[in-house]
């Protein structure tokens, strides 16, 4: 039995040794063989060198885009239009480095079986050297996750991912520049809203907007900036239900005028007229021909009342910490001065938390509405110094019962405050903790 066991063990050892020997002498093929099975690229181009792009689809006129030596992409066929630069760039990015999933045939004799004898989509690319390459895209593969493709004039047929076809299969509406105004919001220096009820005009000095018409007024910078953004973002709606130019023009002719916005920038002036038909808004721009349906957000933006654009805050120091606060109410007089991180009052150091509570009340002081009259003699006087002493804002408040009307120094506007706002402010001043003598 021992001899038989030894013989079996020897046989197993011989098999293992033979397998190891074969493995050492028959290793997998090198990376050269592996690369032969990797999917080859279909196109590899310099995106910046492409000067013309043509997209041809069955039963549709070809779309041709060109890029001058100095300039942006433009649509030249089937009709001259501005092009959406980001969409064109995305399309060219897909084409410039287009990989296949696999090589189907090295020399295809029958293109009909792949739908490449009469391709559903053809993309022609012309470079600065005036040489053109054409990508042909045929039928879907049986699995539906890829499509057959080839380069015109070459015999090889590939499959490529269906998402690449989707990136290239662009319509004229996809490629058009849909902006109705081409001035960026940050370049606008003046905006004029011409309306039946009241014209409003805004002017910008650096990053601060002011109301110029109907009279000089402080503007809510956030609101006017948002208006500028809505105008810059105005886009034509080219959906199937709103793409009929004749129908849009007829609707526009009978619609109610909302506003005409005139925009001025260093580069020039543009304007857009907005009208409303039931719940829909339509616009006509000086930048592009035709009438287009637009989003309701644009209509609502140009419909805003004058008071919606006015600055309701009584103080402009914002979130900066003021350097000095003065409050006078009857016989009471409060003065707080900030030195570094500490506050001082009557040569003593009050509790900073209670002073910050007072600052918050001043910062939040705002109009509930604007009025034309009601201000009598001042009952409360406020002064806030900020920006290292460069800005001093003074506010006078007239109280009559529960009603309080405020005015900023040297400004005619009158602000009606929320009932109790002044009492809350004075209470916060009273509640500043007793001063603690400073340690020398």
Each residue's pLDDT tens digit in the chain (440 positions)?
445 554 455 554 454 444 433 333 333 322 223 334 678 899 999 999 999 999 999 889 999 999 998 889 999 999 999 999 999 999 999 999 999 999 999 999 999 999 999 999 999 999 999 999 999 999 999 988 999 999 999 999 999 999 999 999 999 999 999 999 999 999 999 999 999 989 999 999 988 999 999 999 999 999 999 999 999 999 999 875 656 889 999 999 999 999 999 999 999 999 999 999 999 999 999 999 999 999 999 999 999 999 999 999 999 998 888 999 999 999 999 999 998 888 998 888 898 899 999 999 999 999 999 999 999 889 999 999 999 889 999 999 999 888 999 999 999 999 999 989 999 999 999 999 765 555 55
pLDDT digits (tens, 9 = 90+) for 14-32: 544 444 333 333 333 222 2
125 assigned to some structural domain:
yes
Nearest C-alpha neighbor of 176 from the set 50, 74, 24: 74
215 assigned to some structural domain:
yes
What pLDDT, on a 0 to 100 scale, did the predictor assign at position 37?
A: 60
Residue 256 and residue 212 share a domain: yes
Residue 47 and residue 144 share a domain: yes
What pLDDT, on a 0 to 100 scale, did the predictor assign at position 201?
A: 98
Nearest C-alpha neighbor of 202 from the set 235, 177, 228: 228
136 assigned to some structural domain:
yes
Which residues make beta-bridge pairs with 50? 127
129 assigned to some structural domain:
yes
- pTM greater than the 0.85 cutoff: no
Query: Among 309, 339, 371, where does a domain finish?
Result: 309
386 assigned to some structural domain:
yes
Residues 6+ apart with CB under 8 A from 130: none
What pLDDT, on a 0 to 100 scale, did the predictor assign at position 23?
A: 35
Residues 6+ apart with CB under 8 A from 333: 326, 327
What pLDDT, on a 0 to 100 scale, did the predictor assign at position 435?
A: 56
CB 283, CB 302: distance < 8 Å: no
318 assigned to some structural domain:
no
Residue 367 and residue 418 share a domain: yes
Query: Among 175, 207, 240, where does a domain finish?
Result: 175
Residue 51 and residue 81 share a domain: yes
Residue 377 and residue 260 share a domain: no
Residue 303 and residue 264 share a domain: yes
CB 383, CB 393: distance < 8 Å: yes
CATH number of domain containing 278: 2.60.40
Residue 167 and residue 144 share a domain: yes
Residue 144 and residue 191 share a domain: no
115 assigned to some structural domain:
yes
Query: Among 175, 209, 229, where does a domain finish?
Result: 175
Residue 167 and residue 56 share a domain: yes
Which residues make beta-bridge pairs with 403? 400
Residue 189 and residue 154 share a domain: no
Residue 28 and residue 46 share a domain: no
Range of the domain at 20: 2-36
314 assigned to some structural domain:
no
Which whole-number Å values give the CA distances from 257 to 19, 196, 227, 275, 303, in the listed order?
89, 8, 18, 4, 10
Nearest C-alpha neighbor of 336 from the set 420, 423, 439, 431: 431
CA–CA separation, 362 and 421 (whole Å): 10
Count of domains forming the chain:
4
Residue 151 and residue 89 share a domain: yes
Q: Strand 342-344 relative to strand 332-339: parallel, antiparallel, unpaired? A: antiparallel
CA–CA separation, 162 and 13 (whole Å): 53
């Amino acid at each position: 039995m021992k001899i038989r066991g030894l013989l079996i063990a020897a046989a197993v050892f011989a098999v293992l040794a033979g397998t190891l020997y074969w493995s050492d002498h028959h290793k997998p093929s090198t990376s050269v063989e592996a690369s032969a099975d990797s999917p080859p690229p279909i196109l590899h181009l310099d995106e910046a060198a492409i000067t013309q792009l043509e997209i041809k689809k069955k039963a549709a006129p070809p779309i041709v885009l060109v890029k001058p030596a100095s300039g942006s992409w433009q649509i030249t066929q089937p009709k001259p239009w501005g092009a959406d630069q980001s969409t064109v760039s995305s399309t060219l990015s897909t084409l410039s480095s287009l990989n296949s999933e696999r090589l189907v045939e090295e020399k295809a004799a029958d293109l009909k079986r792949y739908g490449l004898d009469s391709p559903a989509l053809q993309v022609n690319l012309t470079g600065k050297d005036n040489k053109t390459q054409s990508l042909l895209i045929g039928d879907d593969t049986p699995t539906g996750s890829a499509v057959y493709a080839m380069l015109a004039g070459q015999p090889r047929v590939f499959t490529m991912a269906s998402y690449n076809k989707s990136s290239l299969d662009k319509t004229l509406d996809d490629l058009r520049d849909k902006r109705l105004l081409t001035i960026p919001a940050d370049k606008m220096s003046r905006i004029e809203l011409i309306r039946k009820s009241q014209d409003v005009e805004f002017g910008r000095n650096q990053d601060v907007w002011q109301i110029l018409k109907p009279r000089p007024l402080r503007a809510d910078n956030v609101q006017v900036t948002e208006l500028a953004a809505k105008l810059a973002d105005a886009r034509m709606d080219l959906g199937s239900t709103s793409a009929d130019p004749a129908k849009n023009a007829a609707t526009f002719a009978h619609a109610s005028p909302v506003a005409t916005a005139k925009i001025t920038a260093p580069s020039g002036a543009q304007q857009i007229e907005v009208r409303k038909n039931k719940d829909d808004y339509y616009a006509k721009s000086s930048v592009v021909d035709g009438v287009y349906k637009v989003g309701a957000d644009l209509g609502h933006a140009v419909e805003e009342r004058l008071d919606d654009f006015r600055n309701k805050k009584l103080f402009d120091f914002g979130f900066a910490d003021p350097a000095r606060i003065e409050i006078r109410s009857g016989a009471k007089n409060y003065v707080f001065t900030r030195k570094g991180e500490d506050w001082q009052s009557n040569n003593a150091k009050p509790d900073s938390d209670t002073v910050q509570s007072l600052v918050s009340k001043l910062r939040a002081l705002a109009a509930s509405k604007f009025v034309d009259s009601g201000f009598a003699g001042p009952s409360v006087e406020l002064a806030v110094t900020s920006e290292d002493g460069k800005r001093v804002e003074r506010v006078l408040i007239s109280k009559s019962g529960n009603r309080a009307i405020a005015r900023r120094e040297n400004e005619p506007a009158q602000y009606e405050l929320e009932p109790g706002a002044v009492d809350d402010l004075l209470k916060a001043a009273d509640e500043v903790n007793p001063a603690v003598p400073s340690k020398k």
